[in-house]
Amino acid sequence: MDVECSDHDYCSNVEPAALDLSLGHNEDQSAEIERLQKRIEEITLSSKFCLERFAASDYDIRFFTRFASHAHLMAFWRQIEPATGKIVRVTRARTAAKTDEVPHAVNATSLQPIDEFFLFMTYLSLGLMQKDLAQRFRIHQSTVSRIINTWANFLYTVLGAVGIWMDEETVNAHMPDVFQFYSDTQVILDCTELRCQTPNSLLLQSEVFSFYKSHCTFKGLIGMAPHGAVTFVSSLYEGAISDREILKQSGIVSLLKPTMAVMVDKGFLVEDCVPCKVHIPTFLSKRAQLSGPEVRKTQSIARLFHSPEASTLHSSLSLG
């Protein structure tokens, strides 16, 4: 049986109006898909606790990290980011073994390195419990603990290698006018205490217990130049250590010269511990009152301790 086949006209043209309608419909669909994808990204981001979520708000950045702005945070991040590839991660096995062997590389967490850093800064700034951070970042609590330990070690190594002490010429070049009567001041010193957990050992408890704070603490020495730059940060010592002893052990004495002067608040009695002059408010001791010059000296030093430049030091010490 013969089958009749009809030829197809491949040369026929599609109506222009139909083609335009089809193209317009495709463009509308593409725009709608793009809009929906953007909306999905916004919803996903708003439900995610990460740095990108708060990048547009300097207020939120200050709240969660204590950096002045997102730009400041990112400037700091760009300085340390190249070294994050060599970060030594604290693992459960290493912690349990307490070994001194060189650790091998381990897999990163599900968080991006910058969000691990954000988690660490949030922990320092707000003092949130690790369970809280685990819920916010949607990771296991043990992972939070390892991230905190890892970044504490990493930043201690990286930042500890940065010299922040200033020479006399640099300090003098930035000397504020309010220090005109104490222009030889190289550094303003004070101690701060950070609360810590109470050790099980009674011996350790006695070493870290601070009668000033009525709690177990670690104690450190902070130094600030007259213009407000932090120029010295000591290691942490047990809370029971005296101001004099922490000054001796901190290493700052070796940085001081006879031509310099240090400024301290009342009660910080270190005149015989440093090779330079010490500016300190005058004490009454057993006298009924101070002399006129002593009153003026005490008032002038007190004003400097409450000057805008000194507020940086007070803000640092408020962490205790």
Q: Return the closest-CA partner of residue 79 out of 159, 166, 163.
A: 159
3-state SS of the chain: helix, strand, coil percent to 5?
50, 10, 40
Q: Which helix H or strand E contains 170, and what residues bound it?
A: helix 168-173
pLDDT of residue 177: 87
Q: How far apart are CA 109 and CA 93, in angstroms?
A: 15
Other CB atoms closer than 10 Å to residue 226's CB: what's the count? 23
pLDDT of residue 3: 56
Does the predicted TM-score (pTM) go above 0.85? no
Other CB atoms closer than 10 Å to residue 297's CB: what's the count? 18
143-194 per-position pLDDT tens digit: 999 999 999 999 999 998 889 999 999 999 999 888 888 899 999 999 989 8
Q: Is 168-317 in CATH node 3.30.420?
A: yes
Q: How far apart are CA 189 and CA 222, in angstroms?
A: 6
Q: Return the closest-CA partner of residue 256 out of 229, 287, 278.
A: 278
Other CB atoms closer than 10 Å to residue 156's CB: what's the count? 11
Other CB atoms closer than 10 Å to residue 136's CB: what's the count? 15
267: exposed, middle or buried (C-beta count within 10 Å: 0-12, 13-18, 19+)? exposed
Q: How far apart are CA 204 and CA 213, in angstroms?
A: 16
Which segments in the chain show pLDDT lower than 70?
A: 1-25, 39-47, 91-108, 282-320
pLDDT of residue 79: 94
Structural domain spans, the chain: 53-160, 168-317
